[in-house]
Structure 1
Amino acid sequence: MPETTPDSSAQPAVPLIELDGASQVFHVKGRDLPAVSDVSLSVGPGEVLCLVGESGSGKTTTARLAAGLASPTSGTVRYEGKDLSAMTRAERREYRRAVQYIHQDPYASLNPIRSVRSTLAIPLKRHGLARGAAEIDERVDELLTTVDLTPPDSYSAKFPHQMSGGQRQRVAVARGLTLSPRLLIADESTSMLDVSIRVSLLNMLTKLRKEEGVGFIYITHDLALAKYFAWEGRTAVMYLGKIVEVGPTQQVINNPQHPYTKALLEAVPEPDPELAAQKKSGGGLVSAEIPSLSDLPSGCTFHPRCPLAQDRCRENVPVLEPVPGATVQDVACMVVTDPRPESPAGAASGNAPTSGNAAASGSAAGSATGGGGVP
């Protein structure tokens, strides 16, 4: 057979969701709070993007922009190349069906006056995916079985107040799967589940990604979960509304470049005493205090807490740039991308990083065992 050559004119696949310079500013009591600033991210079919960072870093607000639950103050959000703000009613309906959001808090996201069956049946009927009571019951049973709520007859008639937190969360996940979405946005969707159920659910979501081509935006404080679920995908680290490091998960976890990413990894509990001692000996943050969004530091917003901060960090705002020698990993840190023989800013004042501060920064990682994110 004749040899075939690759088509150099082939266009790259259009992402399912793309954020292009998206920003979200909240106006609270006469003040502007920049929850998300100039974020550019994309997720394609079968891809997984993990957003990590401490509470208040803007992860949930970014996810809400991608889900169309909020409109960006500036910038653009596109679904398959189409600006959400320019969609027709039919296009918007298709987008709503294709992109589903699994909320963090099942106590607030589930309607207390609807049974589990009603919660799962409404979207099926609204989008014409099931007709008749028998077909709806069959589909509801399939969804409950998928999320390990078995036997399904024991749960379909229950109301949210009759279930545990973990059971409610599984119902929330099942609701996200009702419309066979193309993109799932999961906001701490496994934080309230038992470990065995958590792993089972993540394996099920991974199967959807690999076999059905479902894309994922996965938000978590637990870097161990990020490593497990997004090992073949990408991880973006957020701090005070900005992306400070992004790249393949394997590189971000195994070879972190930004001091903030390193601090998050140092805060992950280590069961091995020898490895835990090695991590503590590596130092930590200068301060555990998180700046207020209403009074952000000048220059690099991380410099008051950074053990590597230099004088230029107080004056210049870093931008995402490729890490030297790693073209697929970007970092917003001048000390990393443009190293200079300048003494760290904290050295002159004697504010050397201590391992105690690293321990205090456990909250910066949102405790790797879970915890709620705040937009």
Structure 2
Amino acid sequence: MRESTAEPAGSAGSAEPAEPSASRPAPGSVPAPAPLIELDGASQVFHVKGKDLPAVSDVSLSVGEGEVLCLVGESGSGKTTTARLAAGLAAPTSGAVRFEGKDLSEMTRAERREYRRAVQYIHQDPYASLNPIRSVRSTLAIPLKRHGLARTAADVDRRVDELLTTVDLTPPESYSAKFPHQMSGGQRQRVAVARGLTLSPRLLIADESTSMLDVSIRVSLLNMLTTLRTEEGVGFIYITHDLALAKYFAWEGRTAVMYLGKIVEVGPTPQVINSPQHPYTRALLEAVPEPDPELAAQKKAAGGLLSAEIPSLSDLPSGCTFHPRCPLAEDRCREIIPVLRTAPEASAQEVACMVVTDPQPAASAGTAPGGGGPP
């Protein structure tokens, strides 16, 4: 009698009986739930003036309930475009985006509505994302009414007051009637965070959501978001340039480092921060200001990027796109495109760097170009 098994998503059925597997759930067990959001080989290509600009290339990542994934990298690395794909604000040119295992492109209207409520996006620029002709109360009331979470004016006022108090805009009655032009940048950003919380989302995508806030308010807000994650199971995709924030907020989660539209390193945040494997990740950490003069001198002596100039998306380098700036670049880096592989010295991390995952004897002898050894 043939054993009944479940095929992985997207794979073809097999006519042969499946072999017993230790990883297969036992009969009667509950299968693991699908991630809240999953990007599977997602790419986004923009067509500008007759040229193709690959803003995101073959990105695969997932975030489950109560998990946090931090996306870090320089401006133009594709972090925001990746977040927009996850939020359904843009459709991938290729690949798939799934919510709880369901492809966004195949959702019914009811499924799409549920997805829209469950996944909320906090935009980077509150000057552009807030409607200038709507008061704070109106901005927060619209989603509450649209999704039936506030039936009466009293319900709206109560919920608006709760949201403003949550983001430290107190007393709330002093802010609910204000318009965006009457508030500072930090206050606007807190209103944007409050709007993201209106529907009690299951996944929050925060794009530099604390960049304009004072340090004390920033820590308070991050602690509040951490409480949502730990106590209510809210998942997070958190985008930041600040590795200190990534370390603080995503210490119990994962960090993915992006460069020119690709993930070059991903793993548990403590390992990525304390033991970076990719030379780009190391360069980002070396760029963090160091108050200790001796440690700062050690960082400077350790080297850094060969160039501060980021290549254009319209004219990407061949092979590994990081090789023109990489202090470890070898000849093969100019010809072969690296893929994410497990780092030999850090099994929890995946790295897209051949020098790290597949070192050559010549590189250790210091004969490779850019390797730092004698010619």
Q: TM-score, normalised by structure 2?
A: 0.90
What per-residue deviation string (whole Å, max 9, x for no partner) do you get for residues 274-309 of structure 1? 221121111101111111100100000000000000
- Residues 1:82 and 2:122 aligned together: no
Q: Is 1:97 aligned to 2:117, yes or no?
A: yes
Aligned to 2:210: 190
Counterpart position of 1:344: 368
1:278-317 alignment, distance < 5 Å: 278-317=298-337
Aligned ranges 1:107-256 → 2 under 5 Å = 107-256=127-276
Shift of 1:252: 0.2
Local SS of the residue matching 1:150: coil
Q: 1:357 is matched with which residue? A: none
Q: Residue 349 of structure 1: CA displacement?
A: 11
Aligned with residue 63 of structure 2, among 39, 43, 50: 43
Write the distance in 2 (CA, Å) between the matches of 1:10 and 1:322: 29
Counterpart secondary structure, 1:245: strand
Q: Deviations over 1:153-189 (max 9, x none)?
A: 0000000000000000000000000000000000000
CA distance in 2, matches of 1:11, 1:136: 40
Supply the AA of the counterpart residue of 1:314: R
AA at the equivalent of 2:31: Q
AA of the residue aligned to 1:25: V
Give the distance between the partners of 2:227 and 2:298, measured in 1 at CA.
36
Aligned partners of 1:307 and 1:344 also within 8 Å: no
Q: Secondary structure at the match of 2:158?
A: helix
> Could you tell me which amino acid in structure 1 is paired with residue 57 of structure 2?
S
Q: Deviations over 1:318-358 (max 9, x none)?
A: 000001143321000000000112223236999x9xxxxxx
SS in 2 for 1:167: helix
CA distance in structure 1 between the partners assigned to 2:124 and 2:97 by the alignment:
22
Unaligned ranges ≥5, structure 1:
1-5, 353-375
Shifted more, 163-172 versus 281-290: the winner is 281-290
Moved over 6 A (4+): none
Q: CA deviation at 1:48?
A: 0.2
CA distance in 1, matches of 2:336, 2:318: 8
Look up the SS of the partner of 1:199 in the other structure: helix
Distance 2:315 2:373 in 1: 23
Out of 85, 88, 95, the position equivalent to 1:68 is 88
Identity of aligned residues (%): 86
Q: CA RMSD in A?
A: 1.5
**1:144 Cα deviation from its structure 2 partner:** 0.1
| Distance in 2 of aligned mates of 1:143 and 1:348 | 55
Residue 271 of structure 1, CA deviation: 1.2
Structure 1 pair 347/145, CA: closer, same or farther in 2 (3 Å)?
closer
The count of corresponding residues between Structure 1 and Structure 2 is: 346
Inter-partner Cα distance in structure 1 for 2:144 and 2:33: 30
Paired AA for residue 210 in structure 1: T
Structure with bigger RCO (C-alpha 8 Å, 6+ apart): 1
- Following the alignment from structure 2 to structure 1, what is the Cα–Cα distance between the partners of residues 89 and 213? 25
Gaps of 5+ in 2: 1-23
1:19 corresponds in structure 2 to 39
The alignment partner of 2:325 has SS state of coil
Q: State the structure with more CA Rg.
A: 2
SS of 1:24's equivalent in the other structure is strand
Alignment-mate amino acid for residue 279 of structure 2? P
Q: Which amino acid in the other structure matches residue 244 of structure 2?
A: A
Q: Does the Cα contact within 8 Å between 2:43 and 2:92 map onto a contact in 1?
A: yes
Distance 2:191 2:153 in 1: 20
Contact 1:37 1:242 (8 Å CA) reproduced: yes
Instruction: Look up the equivalent residue of 1:211 and give its one-letter code.
Output: E
3-state SS of 1:345 partner: coil
Q: Which amino acid aligns with 1:346?
A: G
Partner residue, 2:344: 324
The answer to whether the 8 Å contact 2:327/2:372 transfers is: no
Task: Give 1:179's aligned amino acid.
Answer: L
Amino acid at match of 1:333: C
Q: Which of 76, 79, 83 does residue 59 from structure 1 map onto?
A: 79
Shift of 1:11: 2.3
How many Å separate the matches in 2 of 1:231 and 1:314? 35
Q: Verify the 8 A CA contact 1:299 1:314 in the aligned structure 2.
A: yes
Q: Deviations over 1:15-39 (max 9, x none)?
A: 0000000000000000000000000
* Range with bigger deviation, 17-26 or 333-342: 333-342
| Alpha-carbon spacing, 1:256–1:348, altered in 2? closer, same or farther (3 Å) | closer
TM-score (norm 1): 0.90
1:90, 1:105 → 2: CA distance?
Answer: 30
SS of 2:54's equivalent?
Answer: strand
Check the 8 A contact 2:329/2:371 in 1, yes or no. no
Q: Does 1:265 align with 2:272?
A: no
